[in-house]
Structure 1
Amino acid sequence: MNLSRYFETDDGSLPEIEVTFSNSSQMLLAFQHLHDRGAQNVTADGGHLWLTESQADVPFSGPESAALVVSGAAEAFHVVLGGIAGSDQKIPNLGVFVFTDTLAFDYRMGSDWGTQEIQSLLALLRQLCELGGVVSVPWWGDVGKRDFLEALSMNANAPG
């Protein structure tokens, strides 16, 4: 299954891939997994989150920030993470919205996405599924959804 058309041409959009979990503890494990797979914060300003009780803006601090969202102490936030590798290939930067039970990834399409990068992203998503996640691609439309879910279910060594 060739998914390159959903990655190769930068049309200015930021397509999303959502991974939803049945409980917030699974989401925390998944966010930690991104860091275990090499995630580094590359957000331009370092990233921030809003603490609900104190009404204060605080810097993103990694997996601890996701725990604040789960506990209700902070609102959902968005950071850009680089350096993640689902396989032995690094994935181009991914934006990550962190909600209590969902990680919503956005990505900039373009020349950084080759077959190996797409396969590495699919490998990462399969790992998140093993942690209890359910993947959806609302931006991709019906045909894209079918293509994506087919590719996600295929062997990790299949061409991208």
Structure 2
Amino acid sequence: MDLSRYFVTDDGSLPEVRVSFSDPSVVPVAFKHLYDRGARNVTVNGGYLWIKASEVEKPFLGYEDAVLVASGDAEAFHVVLANIAGSSTPIPDLGVFVYEDSLDFDYRMGSPWGKDEIQSFIALLVQLCELGGQVSVPWWGAEGEQDFLDALGRP
């Protein structure tokens, strides 16, 4: 399955791919998996998250902060991660929204996305599915979502 049309032309948008989990306790495990696959935070100023009880912002410290979101103690947050490799090829920078029940990825389309990079991203999504995730790609509509699901080997 050739998914290049969903990656190669930079039109200025940031398409999104969602990986939802029926058990919120898996979200921190899935987020840590990104770090296990080489992720490093390249967010400007490091990133922050909002702690609900104290109503204060705290600096993003790392993958363990996803536990605070999954438990409902912090609001969802967004970071930009570089160097994630689903396979042997690093994936171009990915934005990651960490929600109580999902990880939502956004990406800048363009020349950094070649065949190997796309396949590495698909491999990462397959790994997240193996952790119990369900992939949806509403950004690209029904046809685009089906293309992604076909590439993942999912009905």
Q: State the TM bucket, normalised to the shorter chain.
A: over 0.9
User: Which structure 1 residue ranges, 5 or more long, are not aligned?
Assistant: 155-160
Please give the residue correspondences for 1:57-136 in structure 2 after superposition, counting only pairs within 5 Å: 57-136=57-136
State the identity %: 65
Deviation at 1:152, TM superposition (A): 1.3
Please tell me the root mean square deviation across aligned C-alpha atoms, in Å.
Answer: 1.0
CA–CA separation in structure 2 for the residues paired with 1:138 and 1:82: 24
Counterpart for residue 20 of structure 1: 20
For 2:30, give the aligned amino acid: A
Structure 1: 4+ residue segments shifted above 2 A: none
Deviation at 1:28, TM superposition (A): 1.3
Deviation at 1:39, TM superposition (A): 0.7
For 2:48, give the aligned amino acid: H
Counterpart for residue 4 of structure 2: 4
CA–CA separation in structure 1 for the residues paired with 2:22 and 2:142: 24
**What TM-score do the two structures reach when normalised by structure 1?**
0.94
User: Which structure 2 residue ranges, 5 or more long, are not aligned?
Assistant: none
Deviation at 1:43, TM superposition (A): 0.4
CA–CA separation in structure 2 for the residues paired with 1:20 and 1:54: 28
Cα deviation digits, residues 61-114 of structure 1 (max 9, x gap): 112211111122110000000010000000000000000110000000000000
